[in-house]
Structure 1
Amino acid sequence: MSSSSRAVLAATFAPGEAAVTAAKRFTREVMTAWAATSVTATAEQVAAELVLQVADAPFEIIWKHFGDAVQVELRQRTTPQGNPKAPSVEVEEWGITFAGESRVHWARLTLPGTSDGGTADWLEETSRGPQWLGFLADASDLLAGTLDPDMVPAIIAQIVVPRLAAWCAVYTPEAGLSYLWHADEARIDDLRVELTDLPVSSADHRRTATMHLRDAEVLCVPLTARGRSLGLMCLGKPDRFTDEVIQFAEDIGRRAALAMDNARLYAQQAAANRALQRSLLPPSEPVVPGVDYGVVYEPAGETNEVGGDFYDLFKGNDDSWRFAIGDVCGTGPEAAAVTGLARHTLRLLAREGYGVAAVLGRLNQAILEEGERARFLTLIHGDLTPVDGGLEVRIVSAGHPEALRLKPSGVVEPVTTPQSLLGVFPEVMFEADVIHLEHGDVLLAVTDGVTERRNGSRLLDDEGGLSKMLAECAGLSARAVAERIRRGAADFAAEPGADDLAILVLRAM
């Protein structure tokens, strides 16, 4: 592991049944991109065997190209159980190393018939044949595989080096020299200094051009997508670039620019959605007299979706406090609109002195008035009033998973009467359940991201699964109860949850 790698490609994977398939596909794409198809089958098998040895925790696969060999590294922060096993196929060498808190299980494969011919040998070998077309297709897959704007320049450089040039520098308007890669890693720092003299600012960002830098010819390929200039891809090597190489570089440049633009648009949308999501949740954690509380909120999936779950805890118009936890059907802007309507209606009507049942009736009407934009909403809404010996709670459950009360003795019981969900029936009437929380009693409310967490054909709440989990929380603080339920939902199934998750725990002090 002492020699310098010429290229590196990495990807992070979630644990689960699909991990092996995903790792093999990534490996196949890397071998194609590096024209190392002669070892693809062996590389896929080695990667799969390494993945099968890791525990149920995220891991990273890193492939490194050393010219005469390729090396796979599986990096993971947690230490898998059991002794590591050698690959079942023949490899040059393998081992275990440690980097900080991470353990790295690696194996190296020799590339048959390798030489240092570099770009010229590769061009002679591939020409315009199927292997080049396959390389372009897999390069597109690699570029499309990330939506992180900071990662795209790194992938661009690692795709073209050493195939088309000895080094690659990617420039963007925001960062200037965004990423630099050289076939000889030891030369990167010196090259970075040399590139300060490269007049990229004067380059024509509309067409490919060449310039000279000391002992190298530099090919500057514009990165343009949807009529917008996103920067330059500068390739350098000691001899001149042939027309065929320039054509190859322009092909990669067009694909790279589109990937950069997609990542930029995705990042902008994700940032806007995160800001919208924050606006739909309480701005701060209030201090509620006589109440110890804990909350957990986890939107599911990618950051390009705004979750439909929400919770709230706020002051009423007297000594009482109001709480709510709800789930809007669907995700995205339409669900966010209903979430915002619900949250602001609850707060406004509570401050006007409406009781919890009356609030839900008016909210139901407001949702129906949205017409085609309306979404179904399940909701638990209640108020907390300090009384001698604990808290008096008025609570309404509108189509929501039932709220549970935990006694210090470990006894768990449902405390809400199921009633109609919101946004369906115009004439529905709601009635509040009144319960008493004695000192130490816990009230738990969750969304169906917990109760309907799926493991095969089983749901977490089948046969009272949530009640059993809550019974084990007797004596814990509200925050500890919320975390225990969150962890229990996460551990119930290996795959990440496909639904948003919200947990609200209230404990009478």
Structure 2
Amino acid sequence: MTAWAAAPIGAEAERLTGELVSEVGDVPFEIVWVHQGDSLQIEVRQKSDDEVATAPSSAPVTVWGVSFAGALRTRWARLHLPGGDGGRVVDDWTGQGSSQGPGWLGFLADASDLLAGTLDPDMVPALIAQIVVPRLATWCAVYTADSGLGPLGLSYLWHADESQIDLLREQLDRVVIPSVDNLTPVPVQLGDWQSLAFPLVARGRSLGMMCLGRSGRFPDDVAQLAEDLGRRAALAMDNARLYAQQADANRALQRSLLPPGTPAETPGLDYSVVYEPAGETNEVGGDFYDLFTTGESSWRFAIGDVCGTGPQAAAVTGLARHTIRLLAREGYDVASVVSRLNQAILEEGERARFLTLLHGEITRTDDGLDLSLISAGHPEALRLRPSGVVEAVVTSQSLLGVFPEAEFVADRVHLAPGDVLLGVTDGVTERRSGERLLDDDGGLSKLLAECAELSARAVAERIRRAVQDFAIEPSADDLAILVLRAD
């Protein structure tokens, strides 16, 4: 209704729909609202019967009736749109011959709300055209240029009579559209149409042109209204483009912080990771994971949690992951890597954020996997035996980025074939439902005990699903799960 500039009759249309529905009876039916240029037709469709139709009475209906098509019976009624005059383009917005009145202001307010409702730059041209037609013009073509550079291209075309769109497109292909450098409306010659091209300019940047066409001359007040709408549309387009550019840059930066990939071949090691950053537009948050090869039968892994979420936490995430990879491949042992990462975070000064980390080295042996690992203030790592027994296997040591004098000592853990090691961030253990946390009373250990003899992937998915189902509300914290299983 907003796109049709028909919001003022919304309440009347709803009341009228209610009256039509009240006549249906106890049978399935369908409600359809149809825009017809100068009017709104409300239809209630049902299987045909022989009842006599009565006219609805609660709204100012000018036309009503009943139509039949096969077994389909449709009761319909028609409401004039504000300012409508029998299918012609609207020129009188107030009933007083001036567009500078309540109808004009309401139209612009509805149009502004609709344009502000999207941040998709591809949607804005479509909204512009559908707002303009048929209220200001019979057809509308929106031309845009990327960042104001290069030739204009047709982004969206709309006509009050959809069957005429293809023909109109062919005509427009032969027309030279004025340059975006023009800052005032420019006449465009197109057959019998009276056409005007309005520049789309926002914040001093030319974004394109809005070309309107109608039969006969454009009244001054309608042209002024279109020019005002063009300014609002250009601002909406510029906002959408800026948002899209920022989102693209954000995604590119975030992808650079993700691991380049986990090992394709890991003989003797079955593994799985789950990573879900908080926030709709985030691909990287404060939680992170990594698993990479350091030798023919050895690997390093890490799962960590930076204090906070969003871009600031992601910056420390990138520092931690790159530091761990670089030092591990330079031959530093687990304790040395963690100690040097602690110093690197402290050297960030005011930008530093404390970090919890589970970092380890995996070595394949004849009877499973040997692990050397350190938990720096991180949720405890759990080992699951094929029998279903679950136990914590590491000692919690100092978290990183707080104490420059902290020293770290690696724990030794063996995974026999079938054993599973689970590492998670507090997005799992502190998942909240009311006053309860998922890990209260050993909740995570109990959940892991149910995963005996499952593959690493099945264990990770079981934990992820349990976190999701623990509370109705979406999680506000980042989440990472790392599962290592000895084959």
> How far has the Cα of 1:323 moved from its partner?
0.3
Paired residues of 2:426 and 2:479 also in contact (CA < 8 A)? yes
* Counterparts of residues 135-284 of structure 1 (less than 5 Å): 135-174=107-146, 176-202=153-179, 204-284=181-261
When residues 462 and 392 of structure 1 are mapped into structure 2, their CA distance, relative to the original with a 3 A threshold, is same
Paired residues of 2:201 and 2:235 also in contact (CA < 8 A)? yes
When residues 213 and 406 of structure 1 are mapped into structure 2, their CA distance, relative to the original with a 3 A threshold, is same
Does the residue aligned with 2:136 lie in a helix, a strand or coil?
coil
Paired residues of 1:31 and 1:40 also in contact (CA < 8 A)? no
- Out of 222-231 and 172-181, give the one that drifted further: 172-181
Paired residues of 2:368 and 2:414 also in contact (CA < 8 A)? yes
The residue number in structure 1 matching 2:392 is 414
Paired residues of 1:33 and 1:138 also in contact (CA < 8 A)? no
> How far has the Cα of 1:33 moved from its partner?
5.9
Q: What is the alpha-carbon distance in structure 1 between the residues aligned to residue 268 and residue 208 of structure 2?
A: 59
The residue number in structure 2 matching 1:18 is none
> How far has the Cα of 1:456 moved from its partner?
4.4
* Counterparts of residues 327-342 of structure 1 (less than 5 Å): 327-342=305-320
- Which digits, 9 at most, give the CA deviation of each residue in 1:427-480, with x for residues without a partner? 222232322212122222222333333444444334444334333333322222
Q: What is the alpha-carbon distance in structure 2 between the residues aligned to residue 446 and residue 111 of structure 1?
A: 61
Which of 1 and 2 has greater Rg? 2
The residue number in structure 1 matching 2:6 is 35
- Which digits, 9 at most, give the CA deviation of each residue in 1:167-192, with x for residues without a partner? 21111124711111222222222221
The residue number in structure 2 matching 1:316 is 294
Does the residue aligned with 1:316 lie in a helix, a strand or coil?
strand
- Which digits, 9 at most, give the CA deviation of each residue in 1:319-375, with x for residues without a partner? 431101122233444333322211121112212332222211211111111111112
> How far has the Cα of 1:216 moved from its partner?
1.4
Does the residue aligned with 1:112 lie in a helix, a strand or coil?
strand
User: Match of 2:131, as an amino acid?
Assistant: I
Q: What is the alpha-carbon distance in structure 2 between the residues aligned to residue 372 and residue 64 of structure 1?
A: 60
Does the residue aligned with 1:283 lie in a helix, a strand or coil?
coil
For structure 1, the 5+ residue unaligned runs are: 1-29, 47-61, 73-88, 93-106
Matched, 1:128 2:100: yes
Does the residue aligned with 1:181 lie in a helix, a strand or coil?
strand
- Out of 172-181 and 123-132, give the one that drifted further: 123-132
Instruction: Determine which of 351, 366, 382 is the counterpart of 1:404.
Output: 382
Q: What is the alpha-carbon distance in structure 2 between the residues aligned to residue 162 and residue 465 of structure 1?
A: 61
Does the residue aligned with 1:200 lie in a helix, a strand or coil?
coil
Equivalent pairs, count: 435
For structure 2, the 5+ residue unaligned runs are: 18-31, 44-57, 65-73, 147-151
Q: What is the alpha-carbon distance in structure 2 between the residues aligned to residue 110 and residue 459 of structure 1?
A: 56
The residue number in structure 1 matching 2:466 is 488
Q: What is the alpha-carbon distance in structure 1 between the residues aligned to residue 463 and residue 75 of structure 2?
A: 43
The residue number in structure 2 matching 1:471 is 449
When residues 203 and 432 of structure 1 are mapped into structure 2, their CA distance, relative to the original with a 3 A threshold, is closer
Q: What is the alpha-carbon distance in structure 2 between the residues aligned to residue 290 and residue 456 of structure 1?
A: 42
When residues 347 and 240 of structure 1 are mapped into structure 2, their CA distance, relative to the original with a 3 A threshold, is same
The residue number in structure 2 matching 1:292 is 270
Paired residues of 1:294 and 1:506 also in contact (CA < 8 A)? yes
Does the residue aligned with 1:474 lie in a helix, a strand or coil?
coil
When residues 366 and 176 of structure 1 are mapped into structure 2, their CA distance, relative to the original with a 3 A threshold, is same
The residue number in structure 2 matching 1:100 is none
* Counterparts of residues 36-75 of structure 1 (less than 5 Å): 36-40=7-11, 65-67=35-37, 68-69=39-40
Paired residues of 1:296 and 1:502 also in contact (CA < 8 A)? yes
User: Match of 2:256, as an amino acid?
Assistant: S
User: Match of 2:138, as an amino acid?
Assistant: A
* Counterparts of residues 102-113 of structure 1 (less than 5 Å): 112-113=79-80
Q: What is the alpha-carbon distance in structure 1 between the residues aligned to residue 474 and residue 175 of structure 2?
A: 47
Q: What is the alpha-carbon distance in structure 1 between the residues aligned to residue 138 and residue 241 of structure 2?
A: 28
- Which digits, 9 at most, give the CA deviation of each residue in 1:169-228, with x for residues without a partner? 111124711111222222222221121122114565322222231121222111112211
- Which digits, 9 at most, give the CA deviation of each residue in 1:150-178, with x for residues without a partner? 11211222222222112211111247111
> How far has the Cα of 1:131 moved from its partner?
4.4
When residues 479 and 228 of structure 1 are mapped into structure 2, their CA distance, relative to the original with a 3 A threshold, is same
Q: What is the alpha-carbon distance in structure 1 between the residues aligned to residue 163 and residue 440 of structure 2?
A: 59
Q: What is the alpha-carbon distance in structure 1 between the residues aligned to residue 463 and residue 405 of structure 2?
A: 36
When residues 154 and 483 of structure 1 are mapped into structure 2, their CA distance, relative to the original with a 3 A threshold, is farther
User: Match of 1:141, as an amino acid?
Assistant: D
The residue number in structure 2 matching 1:388 is 366
TM-score, scaled to structure 2: 0.79
> How far has the Cα of 1:233 moved from its partner?
1.2
The residue number in structure 2 matching 1:85 is none
Identity %: 68
User: Match of 2:464, as an amino acid?
Assistant: R
TM-score, scaled to structure 1: 0.76
